[in-house]
Amino acid sequence: MGLKLMDASKKVAANIDEYIADFPDNVQSMLQEIRKTIHTAAPEATETIRYTMPTFKLNGKNLIFFAAFKNHIGFYPAPQDIESFKARLSAFKGSKGGVQFPLNRPIPADLVTDIVNFQVAEISKKR
Protein backbone atom coordinates (compact mmCIF):
# COMPACT_ATOMS: atom_id res chain seq x y z
CA MET A 1 0.00 0.00 0.00
CA GLY A 2 2.88 2.41 0.56
CA LEU A 3 4.25 4.39 3.44
CA LYS A 4 1.83 6.42 5.45
CA LEU A 5 2.70 10.06 5.88
CA MET A 6 1.53 9.97 9.46
CA ASP A 7 4.12 8.95 12.04
CA ALA A 8 3.19 5.44 13.22
CA SER A 9 4.07 6.39 16.80
CA LYS A 10 1.21 8.91 16.93
CA LYS A 11 -2.13 7.94 18.37
CA VAL A 12 -4.92 6.95 16.04
CA ALA A 13 -7.04 9.91 14.99
CA ALA A 14 -10.31 10.22 16.88
CA ASN A 15 -12.16 11.59 13.84
CA ILE A 16 -11.64 12.57 10.22
CA ASP A 17 -10.81 16.19 11.05
CA GLU A 18 -8.01 15.03 13.32
CA TYR A 19 -6.78 12.55 10.71
CA ILE A 20 -6.63 15.18 7.95
CA ALA A 21 -4.91 17.74 10.20
CA ASP A 22 -1.81 15.54 10.43
CA PHE A 23 -0.93 15.98 6.74
CA PRO A 24 0.71 18.73 4.68
CA ASP A 25 -1.63 21.35 3.22
CA ASN A 26 -1.67 19.91 -0.31
CA VAL A 27 -2.63 16.46 1.00
CA GLN A 28 -5.21 17.97 3.35
CA SER A 29 -6.85 19.65 0.36
CA MET A 30 -7.07 16.35 -1.51
CA LEU A 31 -8.45 14.51 1.52
CA GLN A 32 -11.03 17.26 2.07
CA GLU A 33 -12.04 17.07 -1.60
CA ILE A 34 -12.64 13.32 -1.35
CA ARG A 35 -14.54 13.83 1.90
CA LYS A 36 -16.76 16.54 0.38
CA THR A 37 -17.38 14.45 -2.74
CA ILE A 38 -18.46 11.46 -0.63
CA HIS A 39 -20.76 13.66 1.48
CA THR A 40 -22.36 15.11 -1.63
CA ALA A 41 -22.96 11.68 -3.18
CA ALA A 42 -24.08 10.05 0.08
CA PRO A 43 -25.42 12.76 2.40
CA GLU A 44 -26.89 10.19 4.82
CA ALA A 45 -23.51 8.53 5.34
CA THR A 46 -21.78 9.03 8.68
CA GLU A 47 -18.09 9.54 9.36
CA THR A 48 -15.87 7.45 11.58
CA ILE A 49 -12.36 6.06 11.81
CA ARG A 50 -11.99 2.31 11.15
CA TYR A 51 -8.73 0.44 10.74
CA THR A 52 -7.00 3.83 11.37
CA MET A 53 -8.59 5.24 8.17
CA PRO A 54 -11.33 7.76 7.52
CA THR A 55 -14.46 5.74 6.85
CA PHE A 56 -17.97 6.52 5.73
CA LYS A 57 -20.78 4.22 6.85
CA LEU A 58 -24.31 3.90 5.54
CA ASN A 59 -27.10 1.99 7.26
CA GLY A 60 -24.55 0.55 9.68
CA LYS A 61 -22.35 -0.80 6.86
CA ASN A 62 -18.96 0.39 5.65
CA LEU A 63 -19.35 2.45 2.48
CA ILE A 64 -15.92 3.94 1.67
CA PHE A 65 -12.49 4.01 3.30
CA PHE A 66 -9.70 6.37 2.27
CA ALA A 67 -6.20 7.13 3.52
CA ALA A 68 -3.17 9.24 2.67
CA PHE A 69 0.17 7.65 1.86
CA LYS A 70 3.55 8.97 0.77
CA ASN A 71 2.68 9.26 -2.92
CA HIS A 72 -1.05 8.68 -3.17
CA ILE A 73 -4.50 8.69 -1.62
CA GLY A 74 -5.88 5.18 -1.23
CA PHE A 75 -9.61 4.91 -1.93
CA TYR A 76 -11.34 1.69 -0.86
CA PRO A 77 -15.03 1.09 -1.57
CA ALA A 78 -16.69 -1.42 0.71
CA PRO A 79 -18.14 -4.01 0.67
CA GLN A 80 -17.98 -4.44 -3.12
CA ASP A 81 -14.97 -4.56 -5.39
CA ILE A 82 -14.68 -1.95 -8.12
CA GLU A 83 -14.64 -4.21 -11.17
CA SER A 84 -17.55 -2.25 -12.65
CA PHE A 85 -15.19 0.72 -12.97
CA LYS A 86 -12.20 -1.20 -14.33
CA ALA A 87 -11.96 0.75 -17.61
CA ARG A 88 -12.21 4.14 -15.90
CA LEU A 89 -9.69 3.10 -13.24
CA SER A 90 -7.11 1.84 -15.75
CA ALA A 91 -5.20 5.14 -15.49
CA PHE A 92 -4.52 4.46 -11.79
CA LYS A 93 -2.67 1.84 -9.80
CA GLY A 94 -4.91 -0.30 -7.69
CA SER A 95 -6.27 -3.69 -6.79
CA LYS A 96 -9.62 -5.47 -6.87
CA GLY A 97 -10.77 -3.55 -3.79
CA GLY A 98 -9.03 -0.20 -4.05
CA VAL A 99 -7.44 2.46 -6.17
CA GLN A 100 -4.50 4.82 -5.70
CA PHE A 101 -4.97 8.47 -6.64
CA PRO A 102 -1.48 10.00 -7.06
CA LEU A 103 -0.76 13.13 -5.05
CA ASN A 104 0.55 14.87 -8.17
CA ARG A 105 -2.77 14.62 -10.05
CA PRO A 106 -6.22 16.05 -9.33
CA ILE A 107 -8.74 13.83 -7.57
CA PRO A 108 -11.17 12.48 -10.21
CA ALA A 109 -14.28 13.74 -8.41
CA ASP A 110 -16.70 12.43 -11.06
CA LEU A 111 -15.25 8.94 -10.73
CA VAL A 112 -15.35 9.10 -6.92
CA THR A 113 -18.99 10.22 -7.11
CA ASP A 114 -19.90 7.36 -9.44
CA ILE A 115 -18.19 4.79 -7.23
CA VAL A 116 -19.92 6.15 -4.11
CA ASN A 117 -23.29 6.13 -5.89
CA PHE A 118 -22.67 2.51 -6.93
CA GLN A 119 -21.78 1.55 -3.35
CA VAL A 120 -24.88 3.29 -1.98
CA ALA A 121 -27.04 1.34 -4.43
CA GLU A 122 -25.35 -1.94 -3.45
CA ILE A 123 -25.86 -1.31 0.26
CA SER A 124 -29.46 -0.26 -0.32
CA LYS A 125 -30.18 -3.53 -2.19
CA LYS A 126 -29.05 -5.53 0.83
CA ARG A 127 -31.30 -3.83 3.37
9 domain-assigned: no
Q: Is residue 119 domain-resident?
A: yes
At residue 36, the pLDDT reads 98
- β-pairing, 93-95 vs 98-102, is antiparallel
Q: What is the CATH number of the domain that holds 62?
A: 3.90.1150.200
85 domain-assigned: yes
Residue 82 CA to residue 11 CA, distance in Å, equals 31
Give a yes or no: residue 70 inside a domain.
Answer: yes
Report the number of distinct structural domains present in the chain. Answer: 1
pLDDT in tens, 10-41: 578 999 999 999 999 999 999 999 999 999 99
Rounded CA-CA distance 61/78 in Å is: 8
Q: Flag whether 2 is in a domain.
A: no
pLDDT digit of tens for each residue in the chain (127 aa)?
A: 333 444 444 578 999 999 999 999 999 999 999 999 999 999 999 999 999 999 999 999 999 999 999 999 999 998 666 778 888 998 999 887 889 999 999 999 999 999 999 999 988 887 6
* Domain encompassing residue 81: 16-125
pTM, 2 dp: 0.87
